[in-house]
Amino acid sequence: MKSDNQRPIWRSTTILSVRKDGVVALGGDGQVSYGNTIMKSDTKKIRWMLDKRVLVGFAGSTADAFALMERFETKLKDYPGNMPRAATELARDWRTDRILRKLEAMMITVDAESSLLISGQGDVVQPTDGIVGIGSGGNFAVAAAKAMIKHTDLSASEIVREALTIASDIDVYTNSNLIVEEIPCTK
């Protein structure tokens, strides 16, 4: 029997969000890996919520992410128009609830005003530069996006797509089957 540290790990994804020129874009790849095996290449890890006013992207265990997204959607309905409060309430529940604490996933949530990273440690982080990434290729995608935002005229969606493509060239747990969505910003 394999111990916990010898079991194959579900690894999945790269999610990236960029705010630029009045638009926020959120994108992700489609690969789900189990250990060193690609289980699926076209998973949709970006979801619309609240009548297409909020976008959510997830990385980690898919089942755990869906459980968290359901809870987040409930929080959004409890605090309509206040995504940061909904995210804070979800993070608090996630950190303090015995069952939720075991969930292995992270989320990026965006709306017209905010971009937030939500983690199971109770973190709700809003990036100062409007660029945030999660998942196994998240740091690669963030680095690429930071370089592009300063040195190109690409749109937010184009930067997300290009940065995710770069991450897919480096990270074996990220593929180039990309989905990118966008929301017009109010700020």
Residues with active-site annotation: 13
Residue type, 170: I
CA atoms within 13 A of residue 62's CA, in its CB half-sphere: 17
* CB 116, CB 110: distance < 8 Å: yes
Rg of the Cα atoms in the chain: 16
3-state helix, strand, coil in the chain (%, to 5): 35, 30, 35
Determine the Cα–Cα distance for residues 153 and 135; give it in Å rounded to an integer.
26
Token pair of 38 as six digits: 């690609």
Sheet of 14-20: strands edge to edge?
131-135, 14-20, 23-28, 179-184
